[in-house]
Amino acid sequence: MATGFIAPVQLTNNAATVLKRLLQGDVEAPYLRIGVKGGGCSGMSFMLGFDARNEDDDLFDIDGIPVIIKKAHGMYLVGMEVDYQDNSGTSGFVFNKSL
């Protein structure tokens, strides 16, 4: 899936493995959406979920995973790395600034 764009976000091996497993499951939407939610006092928060593609989305192939990012969100995600951590009974995806 060539898009001609370099993805602003990277996935760790752990995150890619878990996401590929989830995509093989019973998900209703074929794309992984990575985005941001508005500021407020605590700044921006990052979001991750499965969704359908819209006209205002850029499409990326990140480690074989079809990822959509709203065009307006790309600049806020530059240099971000999504990781999956499983520590002492708590697990989940985390966003790390890699720059």
Structure confidence by residue, pLDDT tens digits, 70-85: 999 999 999 999 999 9
The pTM of the full predicted model, rounded to 2 decimals, is 0.86
Q: Is 60 a residue whose pLDDT tops 90? A: yes
- In the chain, how many domains are there? 1
Query: 2 lies in a domain?
Result: no
Long-range interactions of 36-44: CB distance < 8 A, separation 24+: 36/73, 36/76, 36/77, 44/76
Phi, psi of 78, rounded to the nearest 5 degrees:
-60, 130
Rounded mean pLDDT, 35-55: 87
* Residue 56 reports pLDDT greater than 70: yes
User: Is position 17 within any domain?
Assistant: yes
Residue 23 lies in a domain: yes
Which pLDDT belongs to residue 55? 96
In this prediction, residue 33 carries a pLDDT of 96
Instruction: Judge whether 1 lies within some domain.
Output: no
pLDDT of residue 99: 58
Domain assignment present for 4 = no
Helix (H, G, I), strand (E, B) or coil at 77: helix
**What residues make up the domain containing 49?**
9-36+45-97
CA distance 48 to 51: 9
Q: Give the mean model confidence (pLDDT) for residues 21-46.
A: 84
CATH number at residue 60: 2.60.300.12
Task: Please check whether residue 70 lies inside any domain of the structure.
Answer: yes
Q: For residue 2, what pLDDT is reported?
A: 45
Q: Is residue 52 part of a domain?
A: yes
Percent of the chain with pLDDT over 70: 91
